[in-house]
Amino acid sequence: MDPQLLSYYEAIERASAEMLAAARAGQWDEVVRLEGACVLLISQLKTEALRRDGDDIRPAEPRLPRSADQEEAARVKSRIMQRILVNDAEIRQLAEPWLQDLDDTLAGRRHVVH
């Protein structure tokens, strides 16, 4: 994997970790802001990956075995993706009560405190 593409994955991971920290602190506006940053990074990653694939068009040939560097990059990418997914799952879990409160507010349902 190209080091520049890997840097996009690392930036997405950092943003997802910051989102999780903001969610844990109940800073939902910050979570939303960071989510926008993640969307932008993902879009840039896709664009760059497509550009590189387009630059690499050539007749089909047998796949060569991966080099040790390529194997390590694939492992790093996999670990990054796993951490992003774990962060995302925890953010979703933390957001559920907040989203339910928002849904109730928008629907006009009020919470009764006894």
Does residue 101 have a pLDDT over 80? Answer: no
Which pair of tokens denotes residue 19? 């989102």
Place of tokens 């796993």: 82
Dihedral of CA atoms 42, 45, 51, 55 in degrees, nearest 10, equals -150
Neighbours of 58 (CB within 10 A): 5
Where are the chain's structural domains? 3-57+78-106
Regarding pTM above 0.85, the answer is no
- Whether residue 44 contacts residue 7, with contact meaning beta carbons closer than 8 Å, is answered with no
Query: Given pLDDT bands bounded at 50, 70 and 90, which one contains residue 82?
Result: very high
Does residue 86 have a pLDDT over 60? Answer: yes
Which CATH code of 1.10.10.10, 1.10.3720.10, 3.90.1300.10, 1.20.58.380 fits the domain covering 3-57+78-106? 1.20.58.380
Mean pLDDT of 46-51: 90
Q: What is the DSSP letter of 27?
A: -
Distance of alpha carbon 87 from the chain centroid: 9
Alpha-helix residue ranges (DSSP H) falling in the chain: 3-24, 28-55, 68-106
